[in-house]
Amino acid sequence: SRFDLNLNQWTLESWILLDLNSSSTGWIPIIARSNGSGNTPKWAFGYSNNYNQSSAGTNLAFHINSGSGGPFINTGNCPIPANTWTHVALVKDGSTYTFYINGSFCGTVTDNTPFSSPTGPAVLGQEGGQFFTNMQLDEVMIWHSARNAGEVQTDMGGYANCNQTGLAAFYKFDQGVGG
């Protein structure tokens, strides 16, 4: 499936407009796939706004839970500016996770946590029926390939070609206001 990330290589990308004007803290998911809340198989790419169950602080992060807990993978060096459209990307190549903000490298982490693929639906802006996003999303892309910095930079500036090799899903959100 296009949302099956227990592959050796993949890339997640999105433009986000993060609203941090509220006093709330927590986990702010961009895209996630989960079997539900709690310790169930899941993965989620998002932003930790001093979420108390992670060590991510205020950083872009990737959460893995194989069913008995799991890490919030982050570099500790990827804060996202509030109220500014920002391009974010996460590239997995083997056990290496590389984070980009606005096309610029912001850190790499090696993590060998086993990856259990959830069977629940992939969703944008929430995780496991909780942790609803306080941000706007645009141009969400899932790739079944590890994109390099040049590829991330090139496609963040305009639309990716929908027929590009490895592009598994692309949500442009160009249709206007939904209802």
**Burial class of residue 4, CB neighbours in 10 A (0-12, 13-18, 19+):** middle
Nearest by Cα to 127 from 19, 6, 29: 29
Residue 149: what are its φ and ψ, rounded to 5°? Answer: -60, -40
Nearest by Cα to 88 from 102, 107, 72: 102
Q: With contact defined as beta carbons under 8 Å apart, do 100 and 150 qualify?
A: no
Mean pLDDT per block of 10 residues along the chain (179 residues) reads: 71 87 70 79 83 69 81 83 90 95 94 80 76 78 92 80 81 66
pTM of the complete model: 0.87
For the chain, the straight-line distance linking the first and the last C-alpha, in angstroms and rounded, comes to 27
pLDDT at residue 52 in the model: 64
Instruction: Look up residue 26 and give its two tokens.
Output: 């927590």
pLDDT at residue 121 in the model: 80
3-class DSSP state of 156: helix
The H or E element containing residue 99 is strand 96-101
pLDDT at residue 179 in the model: 46
pLDDT at residue 72 in the model: 82
Q: With contact defined as beta carbons under 8 Å apart, do 83 and 19 qualify?
A: yes
Instruction: Look up residue 140 and give its two tokens.
Output: 């969400």
